[in-house]
Chains A and B, each alone.
Chain A
Amino acid sequence: MDSFNAIVQVLDSTIRLSVPLLLACLAGLYSERAGIFDIGLEGKMLVGAFAGAAAASVFHSAFVGLGTAVLISVAFAMVHGFASITHRGNQIVSGVAINFVAAGSTIILGQAWFEQGGRTPALQPGERFEAIVWPGAEAIRNVPILGPVYAELISGHSILVYFAFAMVPFTWWVLFRTRFGLRMRAVGENPAAVDTAGISVAWLRYRALICTGVLTGVAGAYLSMVQNGGFVKDMTAGKGYIALAALIFAKWKPVNAMFACLLFGFLDAASIRLQGSPLPIIGKVPVQFMQALPYVLTVILLAGFIGKAIPPRAGGVPYVKER
């Protein structure tokens, strides 16, 4: 029973840890499917996290915080769009720039406004998203197997967790069942064809980037307002890049994205859980190995050793109309 409870706990933290990855991964999915590489996911999450926590603690409302996070994150996405769609700049360069501006400005502004070494004030109850306890969770907690699964895994998360997982089927539906999704995929594969059909490539890509900004904003808000109860400098700590890796791992498909993020979240949860304690058969695994595993797996995947990851064909190429 003890080991079962341990597994449930690891799975529970898997869910918590994979939520920001999942949101960022789906965010990247929108922009990359529309043909815009976005390595600025990290930066957009970071500004989202900062804006969310700052607004929530100033206005004493979690939802104001969430809204601000989304707003600022979308603004950064628009800068990326302005550089890479309107001015046909290098998308990678623009993404790198956004990451730096985000990393620097959150610290500088945080220090200037709150004077707590780059932190925002600790969020009070009501300023952060609380866990939602599902009906009956406490009542059946003691039922073997089913009880802990229902009480720990399904119930007891914040609304943003459910939102993140709801976004998976929603994104699938948008991508494969709506006109916008069809056009978005087309613009990522063959923008000239979309242009010929009389649809604005630029506007379509801007809309995809707005979706990206919204989702990275929520991802950031989750980090600072659910997971942590306040903004800490550089709190994304490479999650944007792991999300990018997950996106490749998922071959740019929403449902796969969920599984990839759960896998990477699980690796993270397991490495925290196992810290220092030996595994059966394998023996003691260095924490650093577990931390590097998502990146190693992605490289192996990219090298084509486990299936082939084929990115959207027009990805990274600015669209130039025939002149």
Chain B
Amino acid sequence: MSTPYAKLPAWADYGLIPLINLSVAFIVAGFVVMLVGENPFRAAVILVEGAFGKGTGIAFTLFYATTFIFTGLSVAVAAHCSLFNIGTEGQAYIGGLGIALVCLSFDSVLPWWVIFPMAIVAAAMFGALWGFIPAYLQAKRGSHIVITTIMFNFIAASVMVYLLVGPLKPVGSQAPQTRNFLAGAELPKLNWMIELFGAKIRSAPLNICFLLALAMAFLVWLLIWRTKLGYEMRTYGHSPKAARYAGISETRIILTAMMISGALAGMMALNPVMGDQHNVAIDFVSGAGYVGIAVALMGRLHPVGIVLAAILFGMLYQGGAELAFEMPAISRDMIVIIQGLVILFAGALEHMFRPYIQALFASVSPKSVGMQAVKGKGA
């Protein structure tokens, strides 16, 4: 994605502008809170307290953040290759199927530390497969990846509903979900990590997937900025023509990027399925794939940014639940609005304030925006 504007100093580009965009999103969200007759400042206080005030809150915040790190990374990897993967939702859903198959087969015989790696591989493979088909159609037949991945989300939903009300449902059960996993497929909790700092935790689903998510964030950084493949992906993302000219295979790069993206999406399912619910239920992804879009855009497609953005969204989810108790007029759907506004202001309108910031920088210190270099080209 090219920027038709002159350069700003890095700290303004990666710090100031996202911060401004984010603030605007929250200010608009504040107006919505006012519209329903509540005090936005009190809402913000309740939200932050709910998310970070108690140990349990922190654990829940990090639990949600884990999910969003995976989906955010998934969206970001594809985006570096200028592919917009809206299919994270469906890929995660299908990833859950892979986990279900592994867990239902082995949970009575194997311990968790054998099942976990197997489940990771299964989740990644199923997710990657669901990303592979749209990628193949994009690379070979030129079908627009945005449309195909949207379609695949719906197909995934139909497939999963079919399986969960049919073959995967235990006999005699009414609920559309698999049977509960046995102890072998339950992941260890990480609550002791927070208890180390002296906070008390009643019961929270924060589990070992959090560490896996951080490891994946590091690996994605390594992949994108420190490997040949990552370089090729970024090259293709900046200019497909240049990539073709440099002898990079378009098909290979699209397929690889989308399969990595799908694999990361699939792994997201580990967190709620093995760490919390201990079964696969209908709609267990519940929009986390779409949150990934907001997280990736907010984190400027960089793993560090994504982890921070994921924690912010984890905070909104956890704090939002608390908020719904205190202010009945505000339900958790407030988060959906905030998410939309973040996508709007940090994504679609990302350059809205840039000209003003640029003018400001140019008047304070012309050198910082490289005015000398591009003299006479009034931007």
Residues of chain B at the chain A interface (Cβ within 8 Å)? 1, 4, 32, 35-37, 84, 86, 137, 141-144, 146-148, 150-152, 154-155, 158-159, 161-162, 166, 290, 293-294, 297, 329-331, 333-341, 343-344, 347-352
Contacts and interface: CB of A to CB of B under 8 A. Distances in A.
B333 A107 contact: yes
A190 interface: no
A302 B343 contact: no
12 contacts: A89-B349, A90-B347, A93-B348, A96-B347, A101-B340, A108-B32, A112-B37, A286-B166, A292-B155, A295-B158, A302-B147, A303-B141
Interface in A77-117: 79, 82-84, 87-94, 96-105, 107-109, 111-112
A248 interface: yes
B331 A111 contact: yes
Given A93-B347, A286-B162, A288-B159, A101 B341 contact: yes
Contacts of A105: 32, 337
Contact of A302 (B4, B137, B335): B137
A86 to B, nearest CB: 9
Given A103-B336, A104-B334, A298-B147, A97 B154 contact: no
A39 B150 contact: yes
Nearest to B146: A92
Contacts of A245: 147, 151
- Main secondary structure, interface of A, reads helix
Contacts of A79: 344
B35 A97 contact: no
B340 A241 contact: no
Contacts of B294: 100
Q: Which of B86, B158, B337, B348 has the most CB of A within 10 A?
A: B348
A83 B146 contact: no
Contact of B4 (A84, A109, A320): A320
B146 A39 contact: yes
B144 A288 contact: no
Contacts of A118: 333
Contacts of A104: 333-340
A299 B344 contact: no
B interface majority secondary structure: helix
A106 to B, nearest CB: 9
Nearest to A99: B340
Nearest to A310: B142
Contacts of A133: none
A299 B151 contact: yes
Given A90-B348, A292-B159, A244 B147 contact: yes
Interface centre among A84, A89, A107 (most CB of B within 10 A): A89
Contacts, number: 156
Contacts of B148: 299, 302
A296 interface: yes
Given A97-B344, A288-B161, A291-B158, A108 B331 contact: yes
A87 B348 contact: yes
Interface of A: 37, 39, 79, 82-84, 87-94, 96-105, 107-109, 111-112, 118, 238, 241, 244-245, 248, 286, 288-289, 291-292, 295-296, 298-299, 302-304, 311, 320, 323
A39 B144 CA distance: 13
A98 B329 contact: no
A302 B290 contact: no
Contacts of A289: 158, 162
Contacts of B297: 93
A35 to B, nearest CB: 14
B350 A100 contact: no
A294 to B, nearest CB: 8
Contacts of B349: 82-83, 87, 89, 94
B154 A292 contact: yes
Given A99-B340, A107-B336, A299-B137, 8 more contacts: A39-B146, A93-B293, A93-B297, A93-B343, A104-B334, A112-B329, A241-B151, A295-B152
A112 B36 CA distance: 6
A108 B348 contact: no
Contacts of B162: 286, 288-289
Contact of A90 (B1, B336, B352): B1
Contacts of B351: 87-89
Contacts of A109: 32, 35-36
A108 B36 contact: yes
- Choose among A96, A111, A238 the residue with the greatest number of B CB atoms under 10 Å from its CB: A96
B144 A101 contact: no
A100 B337 contact: yes
B324 to A, nearest CB: 10
Contacts of B330: 108
Given A87-B352, A108-B330, A108-B333, A92 B343 contact: no
Contact of B348 (A94, A241, A295, A320): A94
Given A111-B331, A288-B161, A302 B337 contact: no
A50 B155 CA distance: 27
